[in-house]
A = this chain, B = another copy of it.
Amino acid sequence: MSVSAYPLSHRFLLGRARHRLSEHERGVVEGLITDVERFTSAHVVLERGDVVSRSTLLIEGFVARVINEGGRRHIVALHVPGDFVDLHAFALKRLDHSIVSIGPVMVGYTTHKKLEGLMQTEPHLSRMLWFSTLLDAAMHREWIMKLEHLSADGRLAHLIAEIWQRLDFVGLADPGGFPFPLTQQELADSCGTTAIHMNRVVRKLRENGIAEISRGRVTVLDKDALIEAGGFDPSYLYGKGDLMLD
């Protein structure tokens, strides 16, 4: 498959679908995307409570799913290129959380009307769209588990391991690490801790020779130690293989 054939959607479900999409289906997905838009960092792409009639595919960059509560911002999920960010809104209509860009992003939109038609004519692809929302739920469960039983150190290690693996699925990781524009505040919001404590945790990861996080990039220094620290087992991502970067 050449990348240029599907400039907008070529990362969709890449490496994650048990059943690969056919060329025909890839064409259908590419055809779903009508408008494309770019946003700078910290742009609120969608607001909690919005009633939407289209869904958003993340093409480039990172976005967070955010719930504001008690004057604080809580990141409940992160998305990498190729993810349908609010496909669930096709069935739920109303958003229970906001979508915020982290770093510059490019997104594409498809209308629910188009999805409606797809549901009638493309049963296998429809199932794959469902599959992709179920993957989100599986990741949510792993986050819950991680929040319930890991200390801040472990949570950060787990987060890094997960994003590394997911970026690898879509061809955006390298053996030494990956681009990652989150600030320490945003890492804290993702791990349920404070920015101050996250700063110490980040330092500890560096001092222990596990990973370095700086200037928009994560450099993994010791992959095994990272996996160990986060108790990371990628099977919940339902990827092709269950071994990282192998």
Contacts and interface: CB of A to CB of B under 8 A. Distances in A.
A76 B130 contact: no
Q: Which of A91, A126, A144, A236: most chain B CB closer than 10 A?
A: A144
A18 B119 CA distance: 19
A123 B126 CA distance: 11
Interface in A31-90: 49, 65, 67, 69-70, 72, 74-77, 88
Task: Describe A's contact surface by its main secondary structure.
Answer: helix
Contacts of A18: 93
A162 to B, nearest CB: 13
A134 B92 contact: yes
Nearest to A188: B148
Contacts of A192: 147-149
Nearest to A144: B76
Given A92-B138, A120-B123, A140-B137, A147 B148 contact: yes
A119 B149 CA distance: 38
Contacts of A69: 145, 149, 231
B130 A91 contact: yes
Nearest to A147: B147
Nearest to A140: B140
Given A74-B145, A144-B147, A147-B148, 15 more contacts: A69-B145, A74-B148, A74-B149, A77-B144, A88-B137, A88-B138, A91-B134, A94-B235, A120-B123, A130-B130, A130-B133, A137-B140, A143-B144, A148-B189, A148-B192
